[in-house]
Amino acid sequence: MEETNIIKKYEKVLMACPLLAGIPTNQYEDALTFLQAKVVHLAKHEILQQLDAPFRYAGIVLSGSIEGSFINENDAKISINRFDAGKLYGEALGCVQPPHSPIQLEALQDSLVLLVNLSAMHQEKESLSGFQYHLAMNLIHGLAHQNIYQNYKVRILSQKKLRDRIGIFLHGQPRGKDGSILVKLTVTAMAEFLGANRSALSRELGLMQDEGLLRIEGRRFFLTQP
């Protein structure tokens, strides 16, 4: 069974997945069987979920990276989020399973994803216990965090000025001990996330540096003024 071998090979990655928090590793196989898990291999730029197609499965990224995006009214791609190894995506959509997906999922590199059927949890008739209880609680926490993240994204995109979008984005990122903000996104990916043109973003970041508002060292950003 491929899923059994996958669990052994990617045990540490699965341990980092929020959906499986609190579940002993020796129960992973039972938990993933309960969720009807199946492995999907994806090549770089392969589409995992088509926009407007039925959305059936959430997923745990085992290796590689998956990007969630949508197309705006100007036919421009807007990046919603990026999911690397150990991350769970599609919690809310996986529970509701809408017939028309509002997002597209694309592999940014060769990737391995474990698809899970979250609807299995609300189809369970008896009271939850053991790993089923942990799955349900972890899913609730995941949905809460997702709601907070979506509010953060809406706040960014509701700003008319690109500089305001940049400011909110940077202030929402975790800081290192030296006060630096590590932005893992490329300039292109960051522009897509902010709903901006790459050239416009580069120009605005340059102006903000010239005005002494921030300092950029590679992918580390230092805010020098509030």
What's the confidence (pLDDT) of residue 104?
94
Residue 20, classified by CB atoms within 10 Å of its CB into exposed (0-12), middle (13-18) or buried (19+), is: buried
What's the confidence (pLDDT) of residue 15?
93
What's the confidence (pLDDT) of residue 154?
85
* Cα separation values, 60 from 38, 96, 165, 210, Å: 10, 17, 29, 42
What's the confidence (pLDDT) of residue 66?
96
Query: Along the chain (226 residues), what's the average pLDDT of each consecutive run of 10 residues?
Result: 78 93 91 92 96 93 93 73 92 89 93 92 63 82 78 87 93 86 87 90 94 89 80
Question: Which residue, chain included where needed, has tokens 């006060």?
Answer: 179
Q: Token digits for 168?
A: 């909110």
Classify 84 as helix, strand or coil.
strand
What's the confidence (pLDDT) of residue 188?
87
Cα three-residue angle 120-122-128, rounded to 5 degrees: 95
Dihedral of the alpha carbons of 95, 98, 104, 106, in degrees to the nearest 10: 50
Helix residue ranges per DSSP H, 38-178: 91-96, 119-123, 131-157, 162-171
In angstroms, the CA 119 to CA 96 distance is 8
What's the confidence (pLDDT) of residue 129?
65
Residue 122 and residue 92 in contact, taking contact as beta carbons nearer than 8 Å? no
What's the confidence (pLDDT) of residue 10?
93
For the chain, state the CA radius of gyration.
Answer: 19
Query: End-to-end distance of the chain based on CA atoms, in angstroms?
Result: 55
Phi first, then psi, for residue 16 (nearest 5°) are -85, -10
Classify 52 as helix, strand or coil.
coil
Bridge partners (DSSP) of residue 216 are: 221
Dihedral of the alpha carbons of 30, 36, 40, 45, in degrees to the nearest 10: -120
In angstroms, the CA 125 to CA 27 distance is 21
* Count of positions (residues) in the chain: 226
Q: Token digits for 72?
A: 């705006």
Rounded to the nearest 10 degrees, what angle do helices 131-157 and 162-171 cross at? 150
Bridge partners (DSSP) of residue 176 are: none
